[in-house]
Structure 1
Amino acid sequence: MSQTAPQRASAGPTVWQKRVMGAMMGTGVGLTIGFIFGSYSIIRGGAGPRGALPTLSQYMLSSAATFGFFLAIGSVIRNDSDLSSQLEAARLRLAVSSPVMRSRAEGAAMIRRRWEMEKNLRQQ
């Protein structure tokens, strides 16, 4: 009889990979925002003494560095969990089914049932 080793679930990305992914996304967003605002600034106020291309590149690089830094930190904080993804999903499912997260219609129906129960208790 041959025994097979138990299959392990594939692990998710490491914290370092999450940080790099967040930094790359933030850099892309920052470059785009820097291009938009830099172009608008150059069109509205002129290129300045350095010229259009250095001014635009300064806007783009400063915006990319800022967005990249904050999204790198944010992606690590957001995804840094002690629970596995399956346990996290189960926790969220339980949180949604709690009485606090019910819809207005469900809450109103519960109140009506309680009123009916109280009314029946008073009549008896």
Structure 2
Amino acid sequence: MPPVPQQHGHGMESPSIFQKSEMGAMMGGGVGLTIGFIFGSWSIIRHGAGPRGFMATLSQYMLSSAATFSFFLAIGSVIRSDSPLALRMEAMQLQLSASNPILRSKAESAQIVRARWAEERSRASN
């Protein structure tokens, strides 16, 4: 089953690539802080706090983990960005390629879609 389309805000506009990377960084920061707290606490319990003390050692674990996670999740959210521009560019490439011209009328496309829906309904009913 395909995912439900997301609506951001009141209109149908999607978030920009910068907003997506910002959201990825925020989520990564939260996950990184949590993981840093868990592993930092475990390390301090197991090996001791060291000469810098408990808080400095724990905060170093948490901040380094948060920075790493936020960096990689920000990059990952940009890579997985499905912007309308990228989809339009892909459609234009398909139309302009000489080996596979895809030029159909709206009526032909609608007939193809209806036929596919009918196939899916017949498969689902069986």
Short-chain TM bin: 0.5 to 0.7
Pair 1:83-2:83 in alignment: no
Output the CA distance in 1 between the equivalents of 2:68 and 2:35.
11
Q: CA deviation at 1:10?
A: 1.7
Report the AA paired with residue 36 of structure 2: G
Output the CA distance in 2 between the equivalents of 1:10 and 1:39.
44
2:41 counterpart SS class? helix
Contact 1:18 1:75 in 2 (8 A): yes
Output the CA distance in 1 between the equivalents of 2:45 and 2:12.
51
Output the CA distance in 2 between the equivalents of 1:83 and 1:51.
53
Paired-residue identity, %? 71
State the partner residue of 1:59.
Answer: 61
Runs of 4+ in 1 over 2 A off after TM superposition: none
State the partner residue of 1:34.
Answer: 36
Of 35, 45, 52, which aligns to 1:50? Answer: 52
State the partner residue of 1:69.
Answer: 71
For each residue in 1:43-90, what CA deviation from the matched residue of structure 2 results, as whole angstroms up to 9, or x when unmatched?
Answer: 000000000000000000000000000000000101144127xx9xxx
CA RMSD of aligned residues (A): 2.3
Q: How many residues align?
A: 80
Output the CA distance in 2 between the equivalents of 1:35 and 1:53.
11
TM-score, L = length of structure 1: 0.59
Query: Which 5+ residue runs of structure 1 have no aligned equivalent?
Result: 1-8, 88-93, 98-105, 107-124
Output the CA distance in 2 between the equivalents of 1:57 and 1:29.
14
Output the CA distance in 1 between the equivalents of 2:82 and 2:20.
9
